[in-house]
Structure 1
Amino acid sequence: MTAGKIPAALVYFAPRPFFDASRWYAACIALWMFTVLTAPGLTLLFLGVVVGLGVAFVWMLWEVEQVSKRRRNSDRFG
């Protein structure tokens, strides 16, 4: 190995335990982040999720309406 450089073979062909360990650390960090949140923080997180899902649902309905509007208008003559 050269000083300060990681060989490309180690980057592209990393052993499986490395990825298992990185997933484990990511899960621990995510759980730690949720345990650090206080009640107001959890409330804001929940509110953000609900608002995001609501916006996605309204956007989906709007897109469906636009597609059906084009289909209805193309059936008319004149």
Structure 2
Amino acid sequence: MSSSRRKFLSTSIGAGVAGAALAAPAIVKAQSAQTFNWKMTSAYPKGAPFYMDGPGSATDLAKRILEMSGGRLKIQVFGA
């Protein structure tokens, strides 16, 4: 490989790495601001006391996931 080609390649690679390093914070910020809305069905009807509304139920799980994700993941629960 000639010295001018080596210089060109090393400069190009260095510029690519620098560009990626500068763009990385913007990419991470855009991903962290994204929210998701999911739908979940339950095998139990909407009026089932423990299975739909009690502790350990599908709606309880959806509330806990919403809290743990900081509001980024919202799950809408539907009964059978």
TM score, norm. by length of structure 1: 0.37
More helix by share: 1
